[in-house]
Chain A
Amino acid sequence: MDLLPAAVTLDILKKVMPADSIAPKEPTPPLKLWLPTVAAAWFIPGLGHFLLKRPIRAMLLCASVIVMFAAGLLMRGTFFEPQTGDLLNTVIYVGGFLGNLSSGLLYLVTVWFGYAQPDVAGHVHDYGTKFLVGAGLLNVLAMVDAYEIAIGKKE
């Protein structure tokens, strides 16, 4: 199969697509600009915002994640363990595990101290499990916000 030379291909592309329709690709921000902040935001909820000199927001985010996590523990929620099988199982268990892991130090310390609640029936335990995942997901939102502030996309 004959391929067209690159110059001809480019010429055709320029005729088909006007120059202003091709959006310039934004350069990727350097890792050292955002990685320490995002890592800190993951490890201790709110620390990313604190390092970015947003102490009030940091305090509110930290309090929200900690209260939700603590409520989940007090309701004896279950931590997800990554399991694979059919697609739905994989999404629920791996997703739930990633949600738990997103709480950072809270999750690590809790597991380290031996918290291992079996999955039992009851609406309170069920809410506890959702609260534990919810705390991690709130921290993901805080991490994304810290990333956007760190790269200067947001104030």
Chain B
Amino acid sequence: MSLSHFEAAVLFALLTSIVLGIVTKKTDRERIRYAAYCFACFVGTLFGLGWLMYLGHR
């Protein structure tokens, strides 16, 4: 299997967010919200670092 950096990082973010949501919160609603929040943070950081590296290498 050959994934790009982006695909591998998104897969990692998705699976980690699910587990973090399950183990940290008490109600199902809170779990879903927290998992979505973690995933958004991961992907946001991914884009941020991507742009940072792109601009840093110009």
Give chain B's interface residue range (CB within 8 Å of chain A): 10 to 19
A145 contact set on B, CB distance < 8 A: 22-23
**Pair B18/A124 contact, Cβ less than 8 Å:** no
A127 contact set on B, CB distance < 8 A: 3, 5, 8, 12
In-complex Cβ contact of A141 among B3, B11, B20, B26 (8 A): B20
A57 contact set on B, CB distance < 8 A: 22
Q: Is B15 an interface residue (CB 8 A)?
A: yes
Complex: chain B residue closest to A68, CB-CB: B15
Q: Is B19 an interface residue (CB 8 A)?
A: yes
Q: Is A38 an interface residue (CB 8 A)?
A: no
Give the number of residue pairs across the A-B interface with Cβ within 8 Å. 53
C-alpha spacing A71/B5, complex, angstroms: 13
B23 contact set on A, CB distance < 8 A: 141-142, 144-145
Report the interface size for chain A: residues with CB under 8 A from the other chain. 23
C-alpha spacing A67/B19, complex, angstroms: 12
C-alpha spacing A131/B12, complex, angstroms: 7
Nearest Cβ in chain B — how far from A137, in angstroms? Answer: 9
Nearest Cβ in chain A — how far from B32, in angstroms? Answer: 11
- A:35-63 near B, CB below 8 Å: 57, 60-61
Chain B, 1-30, contact with A by CB distance < 8 Å: what is the 0/1 string?
111010010011001101110110010000
A-B residue pairs in contact (CB < 8 Å), sample of 16: A60-B18, A60-B22, A64-B19, A65-B19, A67-B15, A68-B12, A71-B11, A124-B3, A124-B8, A127-B5, A130-B12, A134-B12, A141-B19, A141-B23, A142-B19, A154-B26
Residues of B within 8 A of A (CB): 1-3, 5, 8, 11-12, 15-16, 18-20, 22-23, 26
Query: 19 more A-B contacts (CB under 8 A) besides A71-B8, A124-B1, A144-B23?
Result: A57-B22, A60-B18, A64-B19, A67-B11, A67-B15, A68-B12, A71-B11, A74-B1, A75-B3, A75-B8, A124-B2, A127-B8, A127-B12, A131-B12, A141-B20, A141-B23, A142-B19, A142-B22, A145-B22
